[in-house]
């Protein structure tokens, strides 16, 4: 798309590329405009399920696809398994006949638009793992037909949609831009954020050609408040990485400042509160026990990997990753030093409680939570480790939690009864009873300044 065409699209709201559009694609555009299109969402997790809900609210007929039969059965039974989409909302979609879930990927042939929301993790060598995208795209290719729109939402490196997804789809003999349309629109979910829900977060969309861009924007425009087209697939892919790299680097900076200021006897939290009173030129970021979630600990390394193809070093990003990765080690060492100086005992053989295992407050999501690494480090140091988190009643089986899989959260009464030697507060859920923690625990390393924000000062509390 030329720069003039792109400018016209922004001004006209979608007048570019309408001439000479193939009949099947014109029919697709008409269905989307009328709200009669069928939309398939692949991957019913924290991104896919909220998106399916929005498309159903917009009047589309939505089918959710997932390889997990338990998720499919739960949704078809009217029960949600994530906090951002309520059970009542799932039941409402089912009752209105706007939604169904399935593990039968052959049904993708019936979809007018298909949105891919599958995981993009890192390998053990911290390189992009494209397996979920590749497998999913091959499943689509098996039933691909003329007149379909394929949109990738999974976070990835610039070039993935064009270099990975398109070739797999075109092995069918169908051609992108002529038979089917291809677009990329990065997810921007923020679980637990009640101010900026999915519908209110501006939606970036990049298309492989003018028709793909216009029709994808039309689809998202029926479901979200604001859609922002960009000039290419690669630009849209880069937007998501830039957003998360910005956060990763700034969090690394304050984490490093935390270590420096602690050595100087300065409270980093007080410094940040003072700095953020400046009405310009400063944006507050806050330290913590490490990075969690499906984006910030992973996405920056997609760009560093891709940059090597162009012989470009990304030292700044890699350094930020190193600093954030070391934070769980720093927190455990702070606990060890505090126990030695304040309690006169070692970590080994101690009963340590981890307060909060979700990666952020007020949600149940544990993906890449730094609490998991902290638990692992404490076990390696010879501790007996327990946890308390009302949002996570039982620890799932993960690679990091093999030794604690299935363990339930302790009861608040056990904390009040003094059953533990010390604790690390990793997640500052609003529901936490800080007074009960203070009364029942001899020592607490607070990585979120939860007690400080609540105005609680006590010798038992060590900022971590």
Active site amino acids: 295
Rg (CA), the chain: 24
Q: Which of 376, 368, 381 is nearest to 421 (CA)?
A: 381
Q: How many C-beta neighbours within 10 Å does residue 51 have?
A: 28
- Among 359, 414, 396, 404, smallest CA distance to 377 is for 404
For the chain, the helix, strand and coil percentages under 3-state DSSP, each to the nearest 5: 45, 15, 45
**How big is the CA angle at 369 (ends 160 and 316), to the nearest 5 degrees?**
55
Q: Are 114 and 82 in contact (CB under 8 A)?
A: no
How many Å apart are CA 214 and CA 33, to the nearest integer?
Answer: 11
434 and 455 Cβ atoms separated by less than 8 Å: no
CB 187 within 8 A of CB 155: yes
Q: Tell me if 407 sits within 8 A of 397, measured CB to CB.
A: no
| DSSP code string of 21-76 | --HHHHHHHHHHHHT--EEEEE--STTHHHHHHHHHHTT-EEEEE-S-HHHHHHHH
Q: Which residues of 240-274 are buried (b: 16+ CB within 10 A; e: fewer)?
A: bbebbbebbbebbebbbbbeebbeeeeebbeebee
* Neighbouring C-beta atoms of residue 209, cutoff 10 Å: 19
Is the backbone of residue 320 left (phi > 0), alpha (psi -120 to 50) or beta? alpha
Inter-helix orientation angle 87-95/48-57, to 10° = 40
């Amino acid at each position: 798309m030329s720069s003039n065409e792109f400018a016209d699209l922004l001004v006209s709201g979608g007048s570019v590329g309408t001439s000479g559009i193939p009949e099947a694609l014109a029919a697709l555009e008409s269905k989307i405009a009328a709200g009669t299109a069928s939309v398939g969402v692949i991957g019913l997790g924290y991104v896919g399920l909220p998106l399916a809900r929005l498309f159903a609210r917009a009047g589309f007929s939505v089918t959710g696809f997932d390889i997990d039969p338990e998720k499919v059965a739960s949704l078809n039974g009217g029960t949600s398994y994530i906090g951002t989409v309520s059970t009542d909302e799932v039941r409402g979609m089912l009752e209105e006949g706007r939604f169904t879930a399935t593990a039968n990927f052959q049904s993708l042939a019936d979809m007018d638009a298909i949105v891919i929301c599958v995981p993009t993790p890192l390998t053990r060598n911290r390189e992009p793992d494209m397996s979920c995208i590749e497998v999913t795209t091959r499943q689509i290719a098996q039933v691909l037909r003329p007149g379909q729109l394929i949109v990738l939402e999974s976070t990835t490196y610039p070039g993935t949609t064009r270099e990975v997804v398109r070739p797999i789809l075109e092995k069918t003999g169908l051609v992108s831009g002529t038979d089917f349309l291809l677009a990329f629109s990065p997810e921007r979910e923020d679980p637990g954020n009640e101010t900026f829900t999915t519908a209110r977060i501006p939606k970036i969309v990049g298309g492989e050609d003018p028709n793909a861009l216009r029709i994808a924007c039309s689809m998202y425009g029926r479901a979200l408040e604001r859609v922002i087209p960009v000039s290419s697939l690669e630009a849209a892919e880069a937007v998501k990485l830039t957003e998360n790299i910005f956060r990763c680097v700034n969090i690394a900076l304050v984490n490093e400042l935390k270590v420096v200021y602690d050595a100087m006897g300065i409270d980093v939290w007080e410094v940040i509160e003072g700095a953020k009173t400046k009405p310009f030129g400063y944006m507050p970021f806050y330290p913590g026990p490490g990075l969690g979630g499906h984006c910030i600990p992973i996405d920056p390394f997609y760009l560093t990997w891709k940059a090597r193809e162009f012989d470009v070093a990304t030292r700044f990003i890699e350094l930020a990753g190193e600093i954030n990765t070391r934070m769980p080690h720093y927190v455990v060492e702070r606990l060890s030093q505090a126990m030695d100086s304040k309690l006169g005992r070692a970590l080994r053989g101690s009963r340590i409680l981890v307060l909060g295992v979700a990666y952020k407050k007020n949600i149940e999501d544990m993906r890449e939570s730094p609490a998991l690494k902290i638990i692992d480090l404490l076990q390696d140091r010879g501790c007996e480790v327990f946890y308390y988190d009302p949002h996570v009643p039982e620890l799932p089986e993960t690679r990091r939690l093999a030794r604690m899989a299935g363990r339930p959260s302790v009861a608040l009464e056990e904390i009040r009864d003094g059953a533990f030697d010390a604790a690390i507060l990793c997640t500052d859920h609003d529901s936490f009873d800080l007074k009960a923690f203070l009364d029942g625990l001899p020592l607490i390393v607070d990585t979120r300044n939860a007690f400080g924000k609540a105005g609680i000062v006590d010798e038992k509390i060590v900022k971590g």
